[in-house]
A and B are shown apart, each in its own frame.
Chain A
Amino acid sequence: MSNDLDFSTVLASTVHDMKNSLGMLLNSLDEVRDSVGEEVRGARPFTTLEYEAQRVHGDLVQLLSLYRLSEEKLSATVEEQLVHDFLDEQQAHHRRLLEGLGITLEVHTEPDAEEGYFDPQLVSGVLTNVINNAIRYAESQLQLNARAEDGWLVLSVEDDGPGYPEHMLEVDFSGTERIDFSTGSTNLGLYFAERMAGMHTAGDRQGFTRLRNGGDLGGSVFELWLP
């Protein structure tokens, strides 16, 4: 047998398999929820189970996308999207978990941001991870907003938590050099978001992300700017 195993391919196919298994697991979890009583459904172990499984799922999706990106096999399929419908679906995706955790997630779409042009799969992957992250820091409220600014569509995830620490607001995620990936998954997640945003272009404009604190809820604000 040959020794030159292409490890990144092995890793990618294993991750793909793990992701599909986890999908099955999440589906079963959804079914279990319907067959158990309120006292189990609302209990901490159950929501932890679901939250962590969803987080791992999101991480694996992110990992696979980054792998495809490095293999130059990832491209954005930009299509018209009805923004409100799209955000509604993102909200629905997290609804039951949020109910279990006692966190609300509201969707606001401004009238001039009804229409957008992006790859729904890629953007959904980004928002899922950002929301999963925000859930950890939120007190009780999250918002998913869309607005138009200077011809850009800005999708934002806001929470009422303590906000991003100062050093994170300063990181430039457009290159890998200055990002420290050893401190946990957050930086990698934001790098991923930046790359996915950057895959959306129109003319000479290219999508990007922006972090700030404040917003309607006074916590962290993640913004995805799409051309």
Chain B
Amino acid sequence: MDENERYHLYRKLRFLITDDFENFRKSMRQMLSSFGAEKIDMAANGNETIAKCTKDHYDVLICDFNLGSGKTGQQVLEALRHHKLLRHTSLFVLVTAETSREIVMGAREYHPDTYIIKPITQAVLQKRMDALMAQRHALYPINHALDQEDLPEAISQAEQLLQTKTRYRNWVMQILGDLYLQRGTPDLARGIYEQVLEGRELAWARMGMGRAALARNALDEAISHFETLIESNPDYIEAYDALADALQRKGNSRRAQEVVEKALEISPLAILRQKQLASIAASNQDMETAADAWRSTVKLSDNSIHDSPENYLGLGRTLSELSDGNTSSEGKQLADEALKALHNVGRRFKDDESAKTRKQLVAARVYAGQGRMNESRKALDSISDQLDPETLSPEETLDYARALYTQQEDGAAQRVLNQLAERCQDDPKIMKAIEELMDEPVSFHKKNQARALNKEGIKAFESGELGQAADSFSQALELVPQHPALNLNLVQVLLKNAEKEGKGSDPSMLRRCERCLDQLSHLPPQHKQYKRYQFLKKKIADLTSGSNT
């Protein structure tokens, strides 16, 4: 680019410089105007940048990573992308004095068009900007179509560009593969990626192969691509997220958790990933990990567009599980931490009525778990006028039912859940949550104990030690008396034992079985144990009537 061309190009474009140091802003502005730029705005922090981008359009944003106390440059980019304030044709340049791995990794994830490491000299800036401008110019037709949300046109522009001798061939192929995936034609995308990989193993192409496989629901193939990629590029964060996704879809949530944990080791500043870990770990009943992940989520919530009451409530819920029934000093400490997180909900989201309700519901559980029943009751009473099962959201209703269980109002809890089940029949996620809660309305400690006892019982049953199996199932049922599978396991083992001893219709055994089945009288037909329940119920009824005659 010669001086004259540069002058003409820069003069037309609108620039925005963000840095918390006035000196830096001034020197950057001076450099840009020496290249010919005339329309240069400046901002001192993230919020000002976002406000300016809401009002005006900028072609080039040059933003420092470290902006003092507010948002970081990474959070600015994240927010601009999230609110769609950054056009595809615009350029985002992230400036950083940091080469620390955590920060660079975090920043890469949001794909700035480039990042420049301080110190920046005028000569280096000019070279970098010129190269970026030339690339922007070459890819403009594609990105312009994307700004118009015209996907077919963007694809056709990219395909045309590939027919020419462009020096950006690799970039265009990467974009085109991505567009094919967006359009829902993973086979075409795969064609592109295969072509690239024939020449050279490149991370984005291997990633694309995996994504194309995911789109075709070929989970094993996808997993193998992502694993290959991580093997050769251990810093390629997106591969971990995609691998965790594939593993979860395969039902392997243990390994999914390991993968997310590994990704967080490399790039811990990603709030959504911390949240994802919290949720996977909770589903794995790994509450310690879940609590740590929620703690990190809360820490990263400051200035983040992903700040929400749910982050604090999530931490509160997990800590309530961990502290439930634990009145040692450690348990008290966890409960206090939970209450502090909940207090923050009230402070940070003053006008959010729903958050206030949910906060008190969780608080009621935390208090009850510490035996502070008065305070628990008071928390519920303070929101009694909000607790109409008709108007509560499904999530609020689940929290409400949990609170009722801790108040030992099991009947009321079940009524509320049954009502919710009627309302949400078509929502498998809510239905599953209802089912799990009704089956085991206890803390995860007890749940884990019951699960371990159930496993022991099954093992004993398989090796023919029927008496021991019955003991294990009975102990488990003391913890979760209404658990369907456990009750049915016990019935089965009692029957088998009686048959073996030739006392198949022993009345006291049959009465014990009936008591188990009575616990399940409210089992809804869609429950996965329902068929087995019906079968065993009939069998016991037959045996009972047989023994009576």
Q: Which residues of A contact B (CB under 8 A)?
A: 16, 19-20, 23-24, 26-27, 30-31, 61, 64, 68, 73, 75, 77-80, 82, 85, 88-89, 92-93, 95-96, 114-115, 117, 121, 202-203
Contact = CB atoms under 8 A, between A and B. Distances in A.
Contact of B203 (A68, A78, A96): A78
B233 A77 contact: yes
B98 interface: yes
A89 B127 contact: yes
Contacts, number: 71
Interface in B61-118: 97-101, 117-118
10 contacts: A16-B100, A20-B97, A20-B98, A23-B118, A27-B120, A73-B101, A75-B235, A82-B167, A89-B131, A92-B127
A78 B120 CA distance: 23
Interface in B396-453: none
Given A23-B97, A31-B27, A85-B131, A77 B121 contact: no
A142 to B, nearest CB: 15
A202 B121 contact: no
Contacts of B171: 80
A31 B28 CA distance: 11
Contact of A89 (B124, B170, B203): B124
B126 interface: yes
Nearest to A82: B167
Nearest to A125: B99
A68, A82, A202, most chain B CB atoms within 10 A:
A82
A114 B101 CA distance: 30
B120 A202 contact: no
Contacts of A77: 203, 233, 235-236
Interface of B: 23, 27, 97-101, 117-124, 126-128, 131, 167, 170-171, 200-203, 233-236
Given A23-B118, A95-B123, A117 B202 contact: yes
B121 A30 contact: yes
B120 to A, nearest CB: 7
Contacts of B27: 31
A20 B234 CA distance: 26
A113 B20 CA distance: 41
A27 B171 CA distance: 32
A117 B202 CA distance: 9
A180 to B, nearest CB: 29
B263 to A, nearest CB: 14
Contacts of A203: 201
A115 B171 CA distance: 12
A53 B113 CA distance: 29
Contacts of A16: 99-100
A96 B235 contact: no
B200 A117 contact: yes
